[in-house]
Structure 1
């Protein structure tokens, strides 16, 4: 510049590469419109992955054939990494910083707001003497499970899961089994899994449980089923001293599988299947005599005697047989209910992510967990979760009444064998019903002698009505839950009329049923999984222009053309 030389720069805003190629389009900034859509989806309960999927579905509906090009534009179709960054940034803003003191203040505020909204004390938190945080929650729906579900006083499954948030809090669930699956009775969250912390959490939980907890048994359930966690079992003994602690059979079986495959125990590969089968037979013995017989046979087994460590391990398990054998567990011998429930926690609540903080984890329990089980209970009254008993092979003349509560049912597979059914306690001497589980023989007795199957919790109208009351807290007329049952074979042979298409007298009118259907579909909108399918359904309805097209669409709704012909053939064979 001192020599008078100047450089002139002319900007032409032209690229020396293709500006419309896919690689260049993926470097564009995400538009404000796309960002706002993602935020709304996150607030509705979507994870980064599912929110991006919904965004792509909507983009495909708008762009149609041009979707391939639009999907390459980052401004309207962000990448997954951007969705994750926005997700955590949004929840950081909502739930505060991750620092512990600030988190405790946010959490206390969250619990106070929830209790005021519900008009009762449904959640509490405190710190133990060793500065551990414990949170106890019993939502209104959980309170209704305590009051209305008989099984809540009989048996409770207790299990825990860690790694739920960034501070590795532990989430514990108390679950009651039912014919529609398990339902929560309470939740507590801790920062430690020591006996002292769990005991403090259980004591805090008792303060938020309803007065009629455990179906009117304030001292706790009759049986509590847990895994092999000494701290949890000792804490439960202190909280519910009158409850019998049962050990989960499936965890014992899994522990033995891990023991056999541990190289430190020195079991050859060819012996492992045989030893595992012998141990399974021990756990699955149906009577005390059968248990003793299997144990005696196992102690003299040639393969087992080659492994003294295995024999000692089996002896230790057998000494604790009162914890896992011969308990009145209504046919539920394992904590599969708990494993399924924690699958719900991981998938439905957290979407396989970690909660940003314990405050967000508690918020998920208040919203997502509560909503999931309400949906489950809402589906149960419509019989969509109903278990159908296979009683076609059990005829009326094979059931003999001994007195008011006792019946003898001949076996359908063995003419020389029969089973004893007691309807008062809901048990049968067959392998399926010996511990109170459902079986065909109990169902045959109920249908032959006109019982309401109250002990078969999967089919009675009263049970479906109860599920609706627990889900909504409201009562509706009994006729809503009446069901046209398939008649027994003797009734068909005798020519008893069976109405398969014509509504029974007093049933809801077609107009009322149609209104109920649309109300049910509207409720499904609360579940994000139904948003796109219902939107597609509405668009299809709006695209129909003629009455004939509407008649065709309504007639074929929900039917599979490929299986309809086979279904008609089965109906003709049945009749």
Structure 2
């Protein structure tokens, strides 16, 4: 068989761990792998294949000469790497001869075995390994073709490959230790760079890569091969290089951001930079497509939630989020990054937002109000940038600060005074009338702690318009008196966007916000738009249950979308409901929150009700536009069974297809229904009903039995009351049970109340039949065992540290106040 007919084909774009490669990796004892495979085929012009043939007769154990169609240094280096992968060897460059003035060669390069490293101790493994690879690439011209038959072929083979001592490695190439010493392959590095591009940390990338290798055939050997499964040091080094290339230096990242701004613009992410003249403060604005669409919503006009955090990257840059409330929760209208939490830094960031998007609050230059915590620097910057916007303090943060002041030892507040002073402060904060406010203030002035009285008096004089509920009566807050939306968004940023891992610098934060955060909000909004969240219907029906059914017949239609609804408690009070604006004169709906009176009107008369939790097809289409923009489907896609869309709604939603927001126009209420024939004949029907028996005989017997059982239950309760009324615990639980029963009756859950009572009585009967242990036995029990009166189960007690460890106090302010203990801190110094 002639050499010209024996053509070897080696694909240059193989996957590192392909089945073919693993089959070709053999060793000296089983037949050494040859860098060419004989095939009865002729030459091919496929540029992705390397053709290798022997130059002459079969080589010796010391030298083997091959010819190949390698054209340049890149293809030669790739062939050497492929050869090393198939033979479990690694090669490093020993010498490169200059060919700049050479007329016959393109390249002359020599590799030696990686184990034969310079300055390696003589006793080390492979210190004197003689294996080498020498590659010369000849030029193909009329002069070189004269003396070389391989260059005269239709597919020339200009590369001369000399393999020295390939069977004479002075070290093992099959053991796990030898595989560990291999150098990582180029494709392996590219795979890990892809992991880093997918926002994986080095540790996450290593775990994923190892799991992918382990599920393949011979996975345990692939894990030992450093060419396919690199050592952690190499992975972390690649990550540092990738991070520096993509994010720049850790300090002063604005240069890298300016360099990547065209890339962000192609992705639809608007990134703006700003720096003060002296360079002391810098700010970055990030506005994704969803954020820019949220700026056009009507909700952005009413109330904007603002919060900041500075523990998201290694440089401690501050992230400030501005959010608007929607039916799918809070959605950011912008994210600002700045280098400090000073008034100057905040002002620089807010000025950047105002300059880039002057009408970002639903088409207005400023919202109705900003909801913040009591950060002096943040509030001063907001006042400077948007002086026409009112500022409100989060009620939770205000109450939390007061309770921590009362429980601080330096303030010398007696423990038995703390709860009384806190109650008086809460009466001031939640007063709903001027008379109630004055009465609460007088009550606080009558207390004996002068320091706390002076603190509250100063707070009232300086900021009463920001934290008193009475001062918010003229604002449409939709029932939002806390900054919970902003607090939840910060947790989303840390838990989901950053996976509780600090970013490298501000550039990494910008990319996380622009990609991961954008995808999260798109997915969350689409869940609501696709009607996959049951909370809306549950909240709507829970409000309806709080109104008696007969109250619907007493609703008075006042005209122009206004209704008069009776109180559910039957005290003779009436509340006016305006459906166009979503307001009610009751305490809950006075600020725009959706109350039970609005729910009753909405069920029987319909209407707009912008804050109604039950989403209509128009609401879901608006959410779809918010998430998808111009790619949002038509409103028919979001319609549920039984939904109908009026022509006026279709006209307003047609603008959404052109990239405009859904207009918050009012919707006319249907006119008051005229008297139906059934209503006109009501007296006759009443007379007929009086003549007929109301119930059947069996129903009358059931009613009599139920009445008898009720009388028996009341009689037994009276006996218990006569015997136990003098006990404090009895009176306490009686008051609590009475209040709970009233709430259950208002919610029309009487059957559930009886079921719970029956279950509790059965449990008490079972507990009464048990034989309790002696009190002395309880005193002898070790820590960690139950303190109840039951006997300890037989056997060795569990040795669980969790049973003995003290439980952490819950981060719930009302529980801390009720237990009269200091409030638990979640993070930071002033939270």
TM-score strictly above 0.5 = yes
Q: Tell me which residue corresponds to 2:485.
A: 337
Other structure's SS at 1:123 match? strand
Mean alpha-carbon deviation: is it higher for 263-272 or for 330-339?
Answer: 263-272
Deviation at 1:321, TM superposition (A): 1.8
Q: Is the 8 A contact 1:134 1:197 kept in 2?
A: yes
Matches within 5 A, 1:407-486: 407-414=563-570, 416-456=572-612, 459-474=615-630, 475-484=632-641
| Cα 1:8–1:164 shift into 2, 3 Å | closer
**1:192 corresponds to 2:340:** yes
283, 300, 303: which one aligns with 1:152: 300
Q: Is the contact between residue 318 and residue 341 of structure 2 (CA under 8 Å) also seen in structure 1?
A: yes
Task: In structure 2, list runs of 5 or more residues that go unmatched.
Answer: 1-121, 127-169, 646-751, 753-831
Larger Rg: 2
Between Structure 1 and Structure 2, how many residues are aligned?
461
Aligned twin of 1:379: 527
Task: Note if 1:40 corresponds to 2:194.
Answer: yes
1:314 aligns with 2:456: yes
Equivalent residue number for residue 92 of structure 1: 244
Residue among 203, 223, 237 paired with 2:351: 203
Out of 395, 401, 411, which is 1:265 matched to?
411
The alignment status of 1:347 with 2:499, answered yes or no, reads no
Q: 2:260 aligns with which of 106, 110, 120?
A: 110
Deviations 1:104-156 (A, max 9, x none): 321111224323553xx922212202312122232222111111x21101111
Conserved in 2, the CA contact under 8 Å of 1:161 and 1:171? Answer: yes
User: Do 2:594 and 2:612's aligned partners in 1 also have CA atoms closer than 8 Å?
Assistant: yes
- List per-residue Cα deviations over 1:183-214 (Å, max 9, x = no partner): 111122111222233222222212222x6521
Asked if the contact 2:562/2:579 (under 8 Å) is kept, the reply is: yes
More helix by share: 1
C-alpha separation in 1, matches of 2:124 and 2:313: 54
Question: Any idea what SS the aligned residue of 1:332 has?
Answer: coil
SS of the counterpart of 1:134? strand
1:565 equivalent in structure 2: none
CA distance in 2, matches of 1:355, 1:401: 58
Deviation at 1:227, TM superposition (A): 1.6
CA offset digits 1:51-81 (Å, max 9, x no partner): 5675687678x389x99x9999897999999
> Which one of the candidate residues 338, 363, 366 is aligned to 1:220?
366
CA contact (8 A) 1:380 1:464 kept: yes
Q: Write out aligned runs for 1:13-162 (5 A).
A: 39-47=193-201, 62=215, 90-100=242-252, 103-115=253-265, 117-118=267-268, 122-131=270-279, 132-147=281-296, 149-162=297-310
Question: For the structure 1 residues 392 and 268, does the alpha-carbon distance in structure 2 shift closer, same or farther, using more than 3 Å as the test?
Answer: closer
Relative to structure 1, is the Cα distance of residues 87 and 13 closer, same or farther in structure 2, using a 3 angstrom cutoff?
A: closer
SS at match of 1:314: helix
Distance 2:586 2:343 in 1: 40
Per-residue CA deviation, residues 150-197 of structure 1 (Å, 9 max, x unaligned), is 110111112211132222211111111122111111122111222233
Task: Map 1:225-304 onto structure 2 (within 5 A).
Answer: 225-300=371-446
Deviations 1:242-271 (A, max 9, x none): 111112222211211221232211223343
Report the equivalent of 1:3. none
Contact 1:42 1:51 in 2 (8 A): yes
**2: CA distance, partners of 1:470 / 1:419:** 35
SS at match of 2:362: helix
Higher RCO, Cα 8 Å, sep 6+:
1
Q: TM-score, normalised by structure 1?
A: 0.70
**Aligned-residue CA RMSD in angstroms?**
3.8
CA gap 1:264/1:427 in 2 versus in 1, 3 angstroms: same
How far off is 1:405 after superposition? 2.7
Q: Which runs of 5+ in 1 are unaligned?
A: 1-6, 486-503, 507-569, 571-575
TM-score norm. by structure 2 comes to: 0.50
Which piece of structure 1 moves more, 464-473 or 413-422?
413-422
**Matches of 1:83 and 1:400 in 2, distance apart?**
73
